[in-house]
Structure 1
Amino acid sequence: MNNLIHNLKGDRVIWALVFLLALISFMPVYSASTNLVYVIGKGSTMGYLIKHLGHLFIGFCIIYFVHKIPYHYTKAFSYFLMPLVIVLLVYTMFQGTTIGGANASRWIQIPFVGIGFQTSSLAFIVLMVYVARYLAKIKEKEFTFKSSFVELWTPVFVIIFLILPANFSTAALIFLMVCMLVYIGQYPLRYLAVIIGIGIASLVLFILFAKAFPDAMPNRVKTWEKRIERFTTDSKGEDVYQIENAKIAIATGGLKGLGPGKSIQKNFLPQSSSDFIFAIIVEEWGLIGGLSILLVYLLLFFRFIVCAHKAPSFYGKLLIIGLGFPIIFQALVNMGVAVELLPVTGQTLPLISAGGTSIWVTCAAVGVIISVTKKEEEVAADLLESEKRNDALQRIIDKEIQLEEEAKQIDSENPLAPIVNKK
């Protein structure tokens, strides 16, 4: 254990806060899983807890291995992963998966293992790294709007419009975060204003097209309209049912909460272990527990800002901002939905909500951020360790080559060798 802790490089505060969020998640996930067990009649509470533990274990393995990789390698990764991400999004759009009879058009099933994977989450992190790479590349160069539109915005719009029909909230979040990143990356404001205008106009055209030709392509425009209508009016529906139960849970929790595992509304909230887990936390742990969760995320946000300021390169700064800020923003959106400050979006609470894809992608982003925060001596130590492994491997190869040459020499000096080999 001490050796493992010693091998954890980078910012220890980020490590601690991420571990704290993961630790906090166990009780709410275990408690909220009773909805799936006793109401829906699926699985067992201990089974869901073990599954969540497995997701977190894999997630922290991802953080560990990713943080050992020098962060500048992500430039090449993002460039080569972009075509793969686009292919996966196209496949996801048209394969029409349903999970448990519910619409799951944003998911695909991984062959042979039967695990669902949300491709838009992978696309999000790859795209943010791609944008950071481009902004770092053009920082000291002259460029035109046309060249930046082709190299930067074309991939952005392609990915957003592949995600948009099935998942408006994620598409909107991606667009907002990309705009934030390019603004911080000193992209000209006049160009950015044009891009925002193009984005809004494209969204309007898409909605009009979907309403005029509803069967032309899979989309959820009607769902968006109903959610906005329910948020702005008193109309009834499934979303109102979820929000009302979430508000009841928050009101019931009061200041100190009902206590761990004593939530009542978890039996009525359909997504109590994922989208509305914050409401269950407040019901069981009270306003104190809810504010404590918010405080942890704000501390993580503050730490991202500090680490971005200390980053050794402009690309490193952009990586921390582009991968770290969306985690905090997603958490705030999830909490805002639970208290009805925002319409229902389907965004999970990072590192706390149940779900493998959300945890793994968040952990991959955290791993890259921690890689950026490694000190110079830690980077040097990693490089030295890598060089030692390469040297050891090279010595083994050289030894094998030497043994082969010696064997050939012995065969050439032995006049009976050809006869023996022939036999």
Structure 2
Amino acid sequence: MNRLVASLRGDKVIWAIVFLLALISFLPVYSASTNLVYVIGKGSTLGYLVKHLGHLFIGFIIIYWTHKIPYHYFRAISLIGIPFVIILLIYTLFQGTTIGGANASRWIRIPFVGIGFQTSTLAFTVLMVYVARYLAKVSDKTYSFKESLVELWMPIFGVLIFILPTNFSTTALIFSMVCMLLYIGQYPFKYLLIVLGAGIAALLLFLLLAKAFPENKMFSRVKTWESRIERFVDDKPNEDNYQIEKAKIAIASGKIYGLGPGKSVQKNFLPQSSSDFIFAIIVEEYGIIGAFGIIFLYMLLFVRFIINAHKAPTFFGKLLIIGLGFPIIFQAMVNMAVAVELLPVTGQTLPMISSGGTSIWMTCVSIGLILSVTRKEEEVSLDEEEKRKREEALQRIIDREVSLDSALEEDKEKEEVQHDEKNPLEPILNQQ
């Protein structure tokens, strides 16, 4: 165990927070899974808990091996990864599966193992690394908008255009996080405004095409977006209102201390209680204290991201921490905002707490990359400390040798004085 802990490099506080979030997730997921077992009639609570444990176990393996890879290797990986994820998104758009009777063209089924995988989460991670790579590459150069249009914006819009038809919330999240990273990475603000205008125009064109060709599969989710926005601003009873109302009842029932672990009532009525609305179940069972505890952990994680971004040894490392770390916190805030009806239903999970394989694994990839940057910083500090210790040890050896030589000289002088005192006539006899 000690050897395993010793092998964990990077920011130990980030390690501890991620482990604590994963540990906290067990009871809410176990409790909320009763909705799937007794209401839907699928599986068992223990089975869902074991499945969640398996997802987290694989996730921590991903963190461990990712943080061992020098982070600068991911420059080349992102360059290769962009065309790969675009091809994967195209395949997903036209060959995506249907899960539980719902349109799920954002998922593909991994062959042989039968596990569902949401390709947009992989595309998100690869794209953020690619943008960080580009900004680090041009940080000390002068470039035109046309040059950045080809090398930067074509890959970005190439990814977004194939996510938009099936997942507007993820597209909006990715685009906003990319713009945030570009702004922090000192991309010219006037260029960014041009792209924002072009992005809004492209979205309007997409909506117009959806109105013109409503039966086309490419636009099948547009009605869902419209209805969700309408339901958010409307007081009429509907499915989204039902979910939000149940979430608010759960939150109100929790009060300060909560009903206690496993004692949630609304988990039996609230759809997606173990994933999208797990925050409401946490508040119901653990109260406002539990809610603030979760928020505190995410805020502490956010502070560690800022500190490590400031201390990162390279500009690419700084952007990597910001580009991968901030979306984790933003996604957590969106999930909690949906539960209290500050935002319309988006389908964003609570990182490292909600059940689900893909969301956990890609969050773990991002955490592993961030730890790889902090690991490099730690190695630099360790090298400097080791160098200082070597210099101190060498100085001690030199001082000891000098002291030894001085002692030998003193002993020699003493012996000569003693010899002269014993034979006072010896000099005279030697002269004769």
Settle same-fold status: TM greater than 0.5.
yes
After TM superposition, list the pairs within 5 Å mapping 1:196-207 onto structure 2: 196-207=196-207
The residue matched to 1:108 in structure 2 has which SS?
strand
The answer to whether the aligner puts 1:213 opposite 2:226 as a matched pair is no
- Aligned position for 1:19: 19
CA distance in structure 1 between the aligned counterparts of 2:113 and 2:202, rounded to whole angstroms: 38
- Aligned position for 1:267: 268
- Aligned position for 1:406: none
**Unaligned runs of at least 5 residues, structure 2:** 384-432
The answer to whether the aligner puts 1:99 opposite 2:99 as a matched pair is yes
After TM superposition, list the pairs within 5 Å mapping 1:230-309 onto structure 2: 230-309=231-310
- Relative to the length of structure 2, the TM-score reads 0.87
CA distance in structure 1 between the aligned counterparts of 2:90 and 2:67, rounded to whole angstroms: 30
CA distance in structure 2 between the aligned counterparts of 1:223 and 1:291, rounded to whole angstroms: 33
Deviations 1:295-349 (A, max 9, x none): 1000000110000000000000000000000000000000000000000000000
- Relative to the length of structure 1, the TM-score reads 0.89
Deviations 1:45-103 (A, max 9, x none): 00000000000000000000000000000001101111110011001111141112222
One-letter code aligned to 1:353: S
Q: Which has the larger radius of gyration?
A: 2
- Following TM superposition, by how much is the alpha carbon of 1:235 offset from its aligned partner in structure 2, in angstroms? 2.1
- Aligned position for 2:388: none
- Aligned position for 1:119: 119
One-letter code aligned to 1:351: M
The residue matched to 1:142 in structure 2 has which SS?
coil
One-letter code aligned to 1:282: V
- Aligned position for 1:414: none
- Contact 1:229 1:235 survives alignment (8 Å): no
CA distance in structure 2 between the aligned counterparts of 1:322 and 1:366, rounded to whole angstroms: 11
Deviations 1:225-272 (A, max 9, x none): 111111111122211111110011001111111000000000011100
The answer to whether the aligner puts 1:329 opposite 2:330 as a matched pair is yes
- Contact 1:34 1:266 survives alignment (8 Å): yes
After TM superposition, list the pairs within 5 Å mapping 1:124-139 onto structure 2: 124-139=124-139
- Contact 1:25 1:352 survives alignment (8 Å): yes
After TM superposition, list the pairs within 5 Å mapping 1:314-353 onto structure 2: 314-353=315-354
Which has the larger displacement, 258-267 or 96-105?
Answer: 96-105
CA distance in structure 2 between the aligned counterparts of 1:134 and 1:216, rounded to whole angstroms: 36
* CA 1:193–1:214: 2 relative to 1, 3 Å: same
- Aligned position for 2:407: none
CA distance in structure 1 between the aligned counterparts of 2:128 and 2:233, rounded to whole angstroms: 32
- Identical-residue share of aligned pairs (%): 73
- Following TM superposition, by how much is the alpha carbon of 1:375 offset from its aligned partner in structure 2, in angstroms? 4.5
CA distance in structure 1 between the aligned counterparts of 2:191 and 2:242, rounded to whole angstroms: 43
- Aligned position for 2:161: 161
* CA 1:379–1:217: 2 relative to 1, 3 Å: farther
The answer to whether the aligner puts 1:58 opposite 2:58 as a matched pair is yes
The residue matched to 1:273 in structure 2 has which SS?
coil
- Contact 1:106 1:118 survives alignment (8 Å): yes
- Contact 2:70 2:376 survives alignment (8 Å): no
After TM superposition, list the pairs within 5 Å mapping 1:375-414 onto structure 2: 375-376=376-377, 378=379
* CA 1:139–1:100: 2 relative to 1, 3 Å: same
Deviations 1:4-48 (A, max 9, x none): 000000000000000010000000000000000011110000000
- Aligned position for 1:49: 49
One-letter code aligned to 2:351: P
The residue matched to 1:374 in structure 2 has which SS?
helix
- Contact 2:311 2:377 survives alignment (8 Å): no
The residue matched to 1:359 in structure 2 has which SS?
helix
CA distance in structure 2 between the aligned counterparts of 1:255 and 1:85, rounded to whole angstroms: 45
* CA 1:217–1:102: 2 relative to 1, 3 Å: closer
- Following TM superposition, by how much is the alpha carbon of 1:204 offset from its aligned partner in structure 2, in angstroms? 0.8
- Contact 2:276 2:347 survives alignment (8 Å): yes
Give structure 1 regions of 4+ aligned residues with deviation exceeding 2 angstroms.
215-219, 375-382
- Contact 2:9 2:378 survives alignment (8 Å): no
- Aligned position for 2:364: 363
RMSD value, Cα: 1.2
- Following TM superposition, by how much is the alpha carbon of 1:224 offset from its aligned partner in structure 2, in angstroms? 0.7
